[in-house]
A and B are shown apart, each in its own frame.
Chain A
Amino acid sequence: MSALGDIGHLLLTANLWQATLAAAVLFLLPALGGVTSERSGVVNIAMEGMMLTGAFFAVVADLKLHNPWLATLVAMVAGGLMALIHAVVSIRFRADQIVSGIAINIFAAGLTVFLVNRIYGVQDVGHVVNSELLPNINIPVLDQIPFLGQVLFQQNVIVYVALVLLVLTHVVLFRTRLGLRIRAVGEHPQAADTAGINVFRLRYGSVLVSGVLSGLAGAYLAIGIANTFVPNMTDGRGYIALAAMIFGKWTPFGAFIACLIFGLGEAIYANNSFIHISAYLLSMLPYIITLVVLAGVVGRSTPPAADGLPYIPGSE
């Protein structure tokens, strides 16, 4: 059978789309965090590091507490703490936000492995047993719908949470006063300040949200899918989320579409047992598709006007 025929056949299976959505959520959560942070005017390329930190602490906590929900909470707090560093350095100390973001990513990569060695020695980190994982939940009745039931309603609990958060982020950013203020702070901080909006508080809050969401994604990866912590296990997903955010022009649903493309790429690759083509060429596909779409359809991506600029009160 030809490679194209293989893939064509694959596209008709519910398994593939179920896996696509599951993989896409790993990109979506940090991407939503990135959208929130950057809409408030703080460039955030640190989702990778926050997610990795979340993954590490999720496993440590789950192995210790034997409770995936508490472990997820710990992961979100850990992601939030990393975000707090980014916030303090870039808002309080007005640091270059790219530098700070890169530093967070390096910091997380080094610290997690260093701590693995200190806590567990050179022994196995250990595996979280299946009963202490974030569970897969089939939604009754709905999961029986042919095709769609499997794709949408037989997923990990975090997938449902992420889809709710997707809608929530969109509504908050574009349909509420709070969202208006966040966007104002990201576009015209001086004007927002003059209008009595607390620029710093909103920016701190938005950056923290990005850390908490990235930490949640880390927990999903570590104790929802992988059952363990592996050094560098996020494997660049935070950067893909960054790309998805920009691809989606800093909107939640735009980012979601990009996440689905990347998720589809991962899902197709996982089928390399039956596709008659070099698995490596296949792996390039989502990235090439993204380039082509960017070149042809999406076009110009313009960040919020004050994205990346520290706010200095009284300056104009």
Chain B
Amino acid sequence: MRLRVLGVVAAALMLAVACGSSSSGGNTKQVKVGLVTDTGGLNDKSFNHLAYVGLQSAISKLGIKGDVIESKSGDDYVPNLTNFAQKGYDLVIGNGFLMQPAIGTVAGQFPNIKFAIVDGAGTDAKFNDLKQTNVMDLFFKEQESGALVGAIAGLLEKQSKAPKNTHVISAVGGVKIPPVDHYLAGYQWAAKIYDPSIKVLIGYSNDFNATDKCKAVANTQIGQGSEFVFQVAGGCGVGALQAAGQAHVYSFGVDADQKDADPSVIASALKKVDVAVYDAIKSVVDGKFTGGANRFSLANDATGYQVDNFSLPADIKTEVDNLAAAMKSGSKTPPDVVS
């Protein structure tokens, strides 16, 4: 029995070696890019998915080689980033605010490898920016996008064009982290500018994936009269959109254009993670990579809004576009902290 087992194992090992040596090879000078997702995984219908879309378009348009590892838990951030770095990938992309200290650690260990991180920088354990020259920070002004959909809600309420004109609107956040709260802060701020009597309910699902949890939170808000539900919870938030649809109130999508997620989505607050990821890759391909903060905002068309299953009255659209212009020029500055 034991011999038999050994024999099988040995045979399997030899086979593995043979296969391994044949599959490697092909040594052109192709740029290699590794993407490490956060725990939401690639099927998160939002943030990680968009980063993957950016990687895919770089693969097809720039002819790079791109690989992905999903992080199953926070335990995996450092090993997964290191995996790509030690293999000499040209660019390693970490996706998510929560990966900052891991990026800081690994980027310090591999000064010759370039890194990029969405929603963050390379930091130490106290979240202080290490300002590493080999780390490109891809920050977004989410508050701008949040403000634009908040303005739509406020204006519709003010002009009594909402379903019931309750002057109550709401938002479902995933976890209380800065990128989420930026959106919420802008939403709350702009809604109140246009409709000072409006009440903005803000709840958190504590999850970025499980649609049922966001649906439950959204249902309670709708029960309190909310007629605009803004989801800021990635894949989980799709549940909030569907809750709005089932209750015949309006909703706002997040990050990507979510008009297909539910008919109730009248507009989406955009955060073009795919554009940022693509740009970072392109900078490496073009030899123009520089470390440090890259702010993605209205100024470079990486935030904004998209009207979806709704015909927005022209005067409202003008007002919203005016707000966008004001934020772009800096004459109006949305807050990035929920009040």
Contact = CB atoms under 8 A, between A and B. Distances in A.
B215 A272 contact: no
A48 to B, nearest CB: 14
Contacts of B197: none
A173 interface: no
Interface in B151-183: 170
Interface string B296-314: 0000000000000000000
Contacts, number: 85
A120 B209 CA distance: 17
Interface in A225-268: 225-228, 230-231, 233, 235, 266-267
A231 B242 contact: no
Given A122-B68, A130-B245, A267-B216, A231 B204 contact: no
B199 to A, nearest CB: 10
Nearest to A124: B45
Contacts of A198: none
Interface residues on A, range: 20 to 34
A298 B212 CA distance: 31
Interface stretch (B4-12, B217-225, B270-278): B217-225
A23 B217 CA distance: 13
Nearest to B242: A227
Contact of B217 (A15, A124, A230, A270): A270
B219 A226 contact: no
Nearest to A228: B211
A156 B238 CA distance: 19
Given A15-B223, A273-B224, A124 B43 contact: yes
A127 interface: yes
B210 A270 contact: no
B201 interface: yes
A274 B212 contact: no
Contacts of A111: none
A225 B212 contact: yes
B215 A230 contact: no
A122 to B, nearest CB: 4
Interface in B41-73: 41-43, 45, 49, 52, 68
List 9 tightest A-B contacts by C-beta distance, closest first.
Answer: A273-B203, A270-B216, A122-B42, A226-B211, A273-B201, A15-B223, A226-B212, A271-B220, A225-B212
9 contacts: A124-B49, A127-B242, A227-B238, A230-B235, A270-B203, A270-B216, A271-B203, A273-B221, A273-B224
